[in-house]
Structure 1
Amino acid sequence: MDDATENVDEANQNKEKDVIEANEEEENPFASKKRNHATVRKDYFSAYDIEKKKVKDLLKHIDKVSVTTDLWKSGQQVSYMVITAHFMDSNWNLQKCTLNFCDVPSPHTGVVICDVLMLKDNLAYKNSLALNGKLFHVKCCAHILKLLVQDGLSEIEDIIFNDVSSLYQQRDPTYTFLPSEEDCEKVKEVCSFLEEFNKVTKVISSTEYPTSNLFLAELYNIKKLLNEAHENVGYMQAMVSKMKKKFDKFLGDCNLLISIAAVLDPRNKMKLVEWCFPEIYSTSDAIEQMTIVQETLRMLYNEYFEAHRAKNVDTKISGAENQREGSSCIVSGKRKVRGRAQFYSYIRNVDNIIEQVKSKLEVCLEDGCHICEDDEKFDALEWWKMNNMKYRVL
Structure 2
Amino acid sequence: MTESTFDIHEFRELFTACIIMHDLPFQCVEWPGLRSLLQYLRHDLQIISRNTARSDCKKMFTKEKCLIQKEILKSNSRVSLTSDLWTSINTDGFICLTAHFIDNNWLLQKKIINFGFMPPPHDGIALCEKLHLFLTEWKIQNRIFSITLDNASANNVYVEFLRNQLNLCGALLYKGEFFHIRCCAHVVNLIVQEGLKEVDISISNVRESIKYVKGSQARKQKFLECVKQSYLDSKKGLRQDVPTRWNSTFIMLDSAIYYKRAFQHLELLDSNFKTCPSNAEWDRIDIICKFLAPFYEITYAFSGTKYPTSNLFFPCVSTAYASLKHERLYGIEYIRNIATTMLVKFEKYWFDFCDILAIVVILDPSTNSHLLNGVIKNYMEVITFLKQRR
- TM (norm. structure 1) is 0.60
Q: Secondary structure at the match of 1:206?
A: coil
* Higher radius of gyration, 1 or 2: 1
Q: Secondary structure at the match of 2:180?
A: coil
Shift of 1:224: 1.2
Q: Please point out which of 39, 52, 56 is paired with 2:69.
A: 56
Shift of 1:164: 4.9
Q: Please point out which of 273, 277, 300 is paired with 1:202.
A: 300
Which whole-Å CA distance do the structure 1 matches of 2:172 and 2:370 have between them? 28
Match of 2:328 in 1: 230
User: Aligned Cα RMSD in Å?
Assistant: 3.4
**One-letter code aligned to 1:20:** F
- Contact 1:88 1:95 survives alignment (8 Å): yes
Q: Which range moved further: 190-199 or 155-164?
A: 155-164
**One-letter code aligned to 2:177:** K
Task: Indicate yes or no: 2:100 matched with 1:86.
Answer: yes
Shift of 1:90: 2.0
- Contact 1:252 1:281 survives alignment (8 Å): no
Task: Indicate yes or no: 2:194 matched with 1:159.
Answer: no
The equivalences for 1:328-367 within 5 A come to none
Q: Which range moved further: 279-288 or 72-81?
A: 279-288
**One-letter code aligned to 1:215:** F
- Size of the alignment, in residue pairs? 275
Shift of 1:141: 0.6
Q: Secondary structure at the match of 1:210?
A: coil
Match of 1:116 in 2: 130
Q: Secondary structure at the match of 2:81?
A: strand
Q: Secondary structure at the match of 2:101?
A: strand
Q: Please point out which of 11, 17, 23 is paired with 1:25.
A: 11
- Contact 1:220 1:280 survives alignment (8 Å): yes
Q: Secondary structure at the match of 2:82?
A: strand
- Gap regions ≥5 residues in structure 2: 19-28, 30-34, 36-46, 133-161, 213-262
Q: Please point out which of 263, 278, 299 is paired with 1:180.
A: 278
Shift of 1:135: 0.7
- Contact 1:259 1:273 survives alignment (8 Å): no
Shift of 1:277: 4.3
Q: Which range moved further: 134-143 or 19-28?
A: 19-28
Relative to structure 1, is the Cα distance of residues 38 and 166 closer, same or farther in structure 2, using a 3 angstrom cutoff? closer
Relative to structure 1, is the Cα distance of residues 283 and 242 closer, same or farther in structure 2, using a 3 angstrom cutoff? closer
Which whole-Å CA distance do the structure 2 matches of 1:284 and 1:145 have between them? 18
Shift of 1:111: 5.4
**One-letter code aligned to 1:226:** L
Match of 2:171 in 1: 128
**One-letter code aligned to 2:367:** N
- Contact 2:98 2:114 survives alignment (8 Å): yes
- Contact 1:262 1:269 survives alignment (8 Å): no
Q: Which range moved further: 275-284 or 121-130?
A: 275-284
Task: Indicate yes or no: 2:59 matched with 1:46.
Answer: yes
- Contact 1:148 1:243 survives alignment (8 Å): yes
Q: Secondary structure at the match of 2:170?
A: coil
Shift of 1:113: 3.6
Shift of 1:139: 0.6
Relative to structure 1, is the Cα distance of residues 237 and 84 closer, same or farther in structure 2, using a 3 angstrom cutoff? same
Q: Which range moved further: 271-280 or 214-223?
A: 271-280
Which whole-Å CA distance do the structure 2 matches of 1:29 and 1:174 have between them? 55
Relative to structure 1, is the Cα distance of residues 20 and 220 closer, same or farther in structure 2, using a 3 angstrom cutoff? same
Q: Deviations over 1:162-195 (max 9, x none)?
A: 4456655738433356433222111111111111
Match of 2:310 in 1: 212
The equivalences for 1:236-275 within 5 A come to 236-268=335-367, 274-275=373-374
**One-letter code aligned to 1:191:** C
Match of 1:69 in 2: 83
- Contact 1:262 1:272 survives alignment (8 Å): no
Q: Secondary structure at the match of 1:138?
A: strand
